[in-house]
Chains A and B, each alone.
Chain A
Amino acid sequence: MSDILIAVLRSGTPLIYVALAGMLAQRAGVWHLGLEGLMIAGACAAAVGVEQTGSVAAGLALAVLVCVLGSTLLWFVVEKLRANPIIAGLGLTGLGLGGADLTVQSIYGSEASVTAGAGLPRLGDAFGAFGVLSVLVAAMPVVVLLLWVLLRRTRFGLRLAACGEHPFAARSVGVAPSRMRLIALMGGGVLCALGGAELALGTLQLFSNNMTAGRGFMAFAAVIFGGGHPIGSALAALFFSIVEAAGIKAQLVFGEKAPRDLLLALPYLATVIGVWISGRLRGGLKAAASGGELRDN
């Protein structure tokens, strides 16, 4: 039983951090489809940073720097140049995927992967079987709760939500939606860096091209499934990774009888179903979001 739980936490933690980043952006009124790009950039920067300097802290710092810069770029393009957030987000994703590929090739020649010398600190033997998990896994519930408090119990959180739901109202009481969105996106950048670092350094201590495999988009779907709520988004992300772990488990149990590639498709299918359900429950988040934009003009 505990091995399944460990597998779920391992694959779920990066997804949850990135989903929280998407949730922050969603709250501030930005549809964040650049999550995939920020996640791979974070994973790549963390692995390269550790490999080059030998220090995990330096790797993490590099990942945070890269992701915050990427988020700022997205903010500039969406808010200042008034680009379409969906297309610009997909562009940021492409930039992350291509940039990571380019960086790895320029530093390590034609190799498609980077092996980092060290990983994130582990929890240690005091936690028994769970000791193999990284500290970021243990920090994850704390981060979820802190974000919940921040968004639901502080003035800042309410203002952020106002910027997403009714920017005109926010502006009329002296809150600049544009600035709040910058803060939300930069905070999301930090979370994406943590998610990417956990993905690359949590277990494998390895970065390979395209290792995110659509997890950033799944995280975005988790935000929609979770209704833009911190705990809801985290639970939705956890649900997707439970499905993924179940697929891997089924593969081990059934072996050759179950086609491997179709089991790999399970999390993507779960994502589609999740978005479908949330659309039915709430009549679609998109309608609300576009209404907000209309009012903003």
Chain B
Amino acid sequence: MKGKVLSVLRALAFVVVALALCGVVFELAGFSAPLMFQSIADGAFTSPNALMKSLRWAMPLLITACGVLVSFRCGYFNVGAQGQFYLGAIGATVAVEALNGAPPALVVPVAIASGMVGGALWAAWPGFLRIRWGTDEVITTLMGNFLAGLLLVYLTSGPLKDPSGTGQVTASRPVALGYRIATSVGVSPTIIALTLATLVLVWLLVNRTAFGVLSSLAGRNPVMIVWQGAKLSSLGLSAFLVSGALAGLAGAIELLGPNGRLVSGFLPGHGFTAVLIALVAGLSVTGVAVVSMFFGGLAAASLYLPVIAGLPAAAIDVINAAIALFITARTFPLPAALLERLPARRPAP
């Protein structure tokens, strides 16, 4: 327990360091740092309205972050949540288009399932390449993000294009109102229920099943797991599939909920933010629930900044990036003289 408290404190300390670095970047770029942070807080947390918006952004992020957590715990750097999220939205759109006219009680579950399959498939090929041939999954999943982005552009400007659509942004036909699970406000009982169900199921998966225990052991010591007789390949592939399916679920929820249609290049930072949430939370499911709210707040602020405060939304990207830079840091740089006075250091694990 003490170790957990310490690791939470360390994560918080590095978030503060990252925010300080952002302050420097803002000042260098010619903005007032206090004003920037004040506006971000206004956009994210200081009013009931802002909190509602934060919740709207936090829920899909929470689901995707749960997926990232599953693959990271297993020792695989699946940083392709963005692409899997897009494929989830595409899968849901295809299902809605195919079943157009059927009762919502049929269409909505099928669309969500189809989104999850889409996400899982987009995670399956990097997972397979990694497990079968040792192909580095960081590169393949990153490239998968770009490929999914291009696929989205292709589909929204071609096969799934809204025929009545005009303007510069290409988009698909809007989902019929009967099939929507939320208005553009994005907070509805269905979405809250789906989010809570995901949270509970992933918690159970990670903490109460053989898969969860074995995969987190595999993340720490794959050799031992193999010697114990576990099948690392099926374990790893399952981790990729679960992780992609959850990102796909978030994509389907965005599509049937607040977004209501497939738009090319929507929510470009979603996957990266989800990776951050999982890391800041120390790959713990309860941690993810708390940390998502913070990053959901930042996401809400990135819409608030340009519209209300007249400040660039890129400020939020900078904050996210700075947190990423520091979050995995394990030690503070202590002067050598200080280290010598401390009791002998334990050998590195």
B333: Cβ under 8 A from any A Cβ = yes
- Of the candidates B129, B142, B331, the one having the most CB atoms from chain A within 10 angstroms of its own CB is B142
Q: What residues on A are CB-neighbors of B325 within 8 Å?
A: 73-74, 77, 83, 88, 91-92, 95
Given that A101-B312, A102-B314 are known contacts, is A272 also in contact with B320, CB under 8 Å in the complex? no
Of A91, A275, A297, the residue contacting B140 (CB under 8 A) is A275
Given that A83-B328, A94-B324 are known contacts, is A268 also in contact with B158, CB under 8 Å in the complex? no
Give A162 to B167 CA distance when docked, in angstroms.
57
Question: Is the beta-carbon distance between A272 and B143 smaller than 8 angstroms?
Answer: yes
Q: What residues on B are CB-neighbors of A88 within 8 Å?
A: 324-326, 328-329
Q: What residues on A are CB-neighbors of B133 within 8 Å?
A: 276, 279-280
What is the total number of residues of chain A having a CB less than 8 Å from a CB of chain B? 53
Question: Is the beta-carbon distance between B31 and A77 smaller than 8 angstroms?
Answer: no
Q: What residues on B are CB-neighbors of A99 within 8 Å?
A: 25, 29, 314, 318
Question: Is the beta-carbon distance between B324 and A91 smaller than 8 angstroms?
Answer: yes
* 1/0 contact string of B198-217 vs chain A (CB within 8 Å): 00000000000000000000
Output the least CB separation between B28 and chain A (Å).
8
Binding stretch for chain B, among A114-122, A135-143, A193-201, A217-225? A217-225
Given that A261-B150, A276-B129, A283-B134 are known contacts, is A94 also in contact with B327, CB under 8 Å in the complex? no
A-B contact count (CB 8 A): 159
B residues 313-339 near A (Cβ < 8 Å) are 314-318, 320-333
Output the least CB separation between B175 and chain A (Å).
23
- Residue ID in chain B nearest A84 by CB atoms: B328
B residues 300-315 near A (Cβ < 8 Å) are 312, 314-315
Of A73, A264, A279, the residue contacting B134 (CB under 8 A) is A279
Q: What residues on B are CB-neighbors of A103 within 8 Å?
A: 29
Question: Is the beta-carbon distance between B135 and A91 smaller than 8 angstroms?
Answer: no
A204: Cβ under 8 A from any B Cβ = no
Q: What residues on A are CB-neighbors of B55 within 8 Å?
A: none
Given that A86-B138, A101-B314, A221-B143 are known contacts, is A93 also in contact with B321, CB under 8 Å in the complex? yes
- Residue ID in chain A nearest B273 by CB atoms: A94
Question: Is the beta-carbon distance between A94 and B154 smaller than 8 angstroms?
Answer: no
Give A123 to B311 CA distance when docked, in angstroms.
42
Given that A82-B331, A107-B30, A224-B139 are known contacts, is A259 also in contact with B158, CB under 8 Å in the complex? yes
Give A94 to B151 CA distance when docked, in angstroms.
23
Of A86, A94, A102, A279, the residue contacting B135 (CB under 8 A) is A279
A132: Cβ under 8 A from any B Cβ = no
Q: What residues on B are CB-neighbors of A220 within 8 Å?
A: 139
- Residue ID in chain B nearest A213 by CB atoms: B146
Give A2 to B139 CA distance when docked, in angstroms.
32
Question: Is the beta-carbon distance between B139 and A94 smaller than 8 angstroms?
Answer: no
Question: Is the beta-carbon distance between A83 and B330 smaller than 8 angstroms?
Answer: yes
Output the least CB separation between A139 and chain B (Å).
28
* 1/0 contact string of B65-109 vs chain A (CB within 8 Å): 000000000000101000000000000000000000000000000
Q: What residues on A are CB-neighbors of B150 within 8 Å?
A: 261-262, 264-265, 268
B189: Cβ under 8 A from any A Cβ = no
Q: What residues on A are CB-neighbors of B122 within 8 Å?
A: none
* 1/0 contact string of A217-253 vs chain B (CB within 8 Å): 1001100100000000000000000000000000000
Give A91 to B15 CA distance when docked, in angstroms.
13
A90: Cβ under 8 A from any B Cβ = yes
Q: What residues on B are CB-neighbors of A172 within 8 Å?
A: none
Question: Is the beta-carbon distance between A94 and B333 smaller than 8 angstroms?
Answer: no
B residues 114-152 near A (Cβ < 8 Å) are 129, 133-136, 138-140, 142-144, 146-147, 150-151
- Of the candidates A77, A92, A268, the one having the most CB atoms from chain B within 10 angstroms of its own CB is A268
Give A107 to B272 CA distance when docked, in angstroms.
27
Q: What residues on B are CB-neighbors of A265 within 8 Å?
A: 146-147, 150-151
Output the least CB separation between A209 and chain B (Å).
8
Output the least CB separation between B86 and chain A (Å).
13
Question: Is the beta-carbon distance between A268 and B333 smaller than 8 angstroms?
Answer: no
Question: Is the beta-carbon distance between B347 and A297 smaller than 8 angstroms?
Answer: yes
Question: Is the beta-carbon distance between A217 and B333 smaller than 8 angstroms?
Answer: no
Output the least CB separation between B132 and chain A (Å).
10
Q: What residues on A are CB-neighbors of B171 within 8 Å?
A: none
Give A137 to B35 CA distance when docked, in angstroms.
44
A residues 259-297 near B (Cβ < 8 Å) are 259, 261-262, 264-265, 268-269, 271-272, 275-276, 279-280, 283-287, 297
Give A106 to B63 CA distance when docked, in angstroms.
34
Of B29, B129, B315, B326, the residue contacting A77 (CB under 8 A) is B326
Question: Is the beta-carbon distance between A90 and B157 smaller than 8 angstroms?
Answer: no
Question: Is the beta-carbon distance between A80 and B333 smaller than 8 angstroms?
Answer: yes
Question: Is the beta-carbon distance between B321 and A102 smaller than 8 angstroms?
Answer: no
Given that A101-B314, A102-B314 are known contacts, is A77 also in contact with B136, CB under 8 Å in the complex? no
Give A80 to B333 CA distance when docked, in angstroms.
6
- Residue ID in chain A nearest B329 by CB atoms: A81
25 A–B contacts, CB within 8 A, in A order: A74-B325, A81-B331, A83-B330, A87-B324, A87-B327, A91-B326, A95-B321, A95-B322, A97-B317, A98-B314, A102-B318, A107-B30, A213-B146, A217-B139, A217-B143, A259-B154, A261-B157, A264-B150, A269-B147, A271-B143, A272-B140, A275-B136, A275-B139, A279-B136, A286-B136
Across the A-B interface, the 6 shortest Cβ-Cβ residue pairs: A94-B321, A91-B324, A98-B317, A91-B325, A81-B329, A284-B134
